[in-house]
Amino acid sequence: MRTWRKSLEAAGVNRGVLRDDYTKAARFMRRREPAGYLAVRLMVPAPHQPHALAGYAFASFTDDVCDRGTVRERTRRYDAWDARVRAALDSGSTGHPLLRAFLHTAADRGLPRHWVDAYLDGARIDLDFPGFATEADYQRYVERLTWPFLMITSGLAHQGGGSAEFAAGCRLFADAAQRTDILTDLAEDLRGGRLYLPVSDLERYGVTREDLERGRDLPGVRALVEATARTADATLREARVLLDHCPEEHRRLMRFVLDLHHQRLESVTARGAAVTRRPVRDRPVACLRLLTRRTAGSRTGYPAPAGR
């Protein structure tokens, strides 16, 4: 693995303060998402590693601001962060190291400003999340929040943010990844008083919110989990179109990410109704195998659909 200093040099980051900023962004991601950090360091070309980690650090830090504390505390903190980010985007300067690294990355990669603005606007949904009544409500959430998140992270692989076809592929992946996260984090979200499954889905399978909160192993709960995983898996397979619109040097990472989500869905399906009682976490050994396979450049096929 190349040293971090060489990655910074390859990215043209030579100034002392800016080098420190990128290093802080990398450390933030190493603590918050160690598997994702390692994947970037192993699979992304050296000149792009600092930019990839800076993008994820900014988006993840913003997400964290929305998730911690009471609604009032989150809103007050987010209002301040939102104002700080927009002022930095307008002026081109800031005193916050993660934001300063992201500003440099956004300018260097030509990231369209509208994706950042869209993400900042969409993140407000999570400050006091109302839940989804229908599938249409869920899709609006993906459109407003999950998709912009991907465009300010994965979009950095492209100069200028990527083509319309790449953006459309990211929209598919945003849907699949969000639905997968809903299942893997279901138990944790329920404990926090949040339910991200549309109420219309619960009604279709004769399931109540209380059934989920109490972790009841019922036929309807098992059917709901399996059907949601199946839908996520089908969309994830459609999202493979991203490989046709992703720069060659970034395809290994994209394949790994797609494989990882397939693996998570397999775990969800195997767990069944138990996903309401404890979160589904990545299996370290299985993740290491995926990482090793993709780092070695293997082009083997995708796993079987979840539930089959």
Residue 131, SS3? coil
Sequence letter at residue 234: A
* CATH class of domain segment(s) 1-110: mainly alpha
**Share in percent of the chain as helix, strand, coil (round to 5):** 75, 0, 25
Long-range Cβ pairs for the range 14-21 (8 Å, 24+): 17/100, 18/100, 18/101, 18/104, 20/97, 21/54, 21/97, 21/98, 21/100, 21/101, 21/104
Per-residue pLDDT of the chain (308 residues; tens, 9 = 90+): 458 888 888 888 877 899 999 999 999 999 998 888 989 999 999 999 999 999 999 999 999 998 878 899 999 999 999 999 999 999 999 999 999 999 999 999 999 999 999 999 999 999 999 999 999 999 999 999 999 999 999 999 999 999 999 999 999 999 999 999 999 999 999 999 999 999 999 999 999 999 999 999 999 999 999 999 999 999 999 999 999 999 888 999 999 999 999 999 999 999 999 999 999 998 777 877 877 877 765 443 433 333 32
Q: How many helices (H) and strands (E) does the chain have?
A: 16, 0
Please report the pLDDT score of residue 15 as a whole number.
79
Residue whose token pair is 């919110």: 209
Contact partners, residue 8, CB within 8 Å, separation at least 6: 14, 19, 22, 23, 50
Please report the pLDDT score of residue 41 as a whole number.
93
Q: What is the sign of the dihedral through the CA atoms of 192, 197, 200 and 201? A: negative
Please report the pLDDT score of residue 283 as a whole number.
78
1-110 and 129-308 have identical folds: yes
Tokens of 298: 């293997």
Domain range list for the chain: 1-110, 129-308
Tell me phi and psi for residue 121, to 5 degrees: -65, -45
* pTM for this prediction: 0.90
- Rounded CA gap, 10 and 46, in Å? 6
- Rounded CA gap, 262 and 303, in Å? 7
CATH architecture of 129-308: Orthogonal Bundle (1.10)
Q: Where are the alpha helices (DSSP H) in 185-299?
A: 186-191, 199-204, 209-213, 219-238, 251-271, 284-295
Please report the pLDDT score of residue 2 as a whole number.
58
Please report the pLDDT score of residue 292 as a whole number.
81
Q: How far apart are the first and last CA of the chain?
A: 37
- Rounded CA gap, 9 and 220, in Å? 55
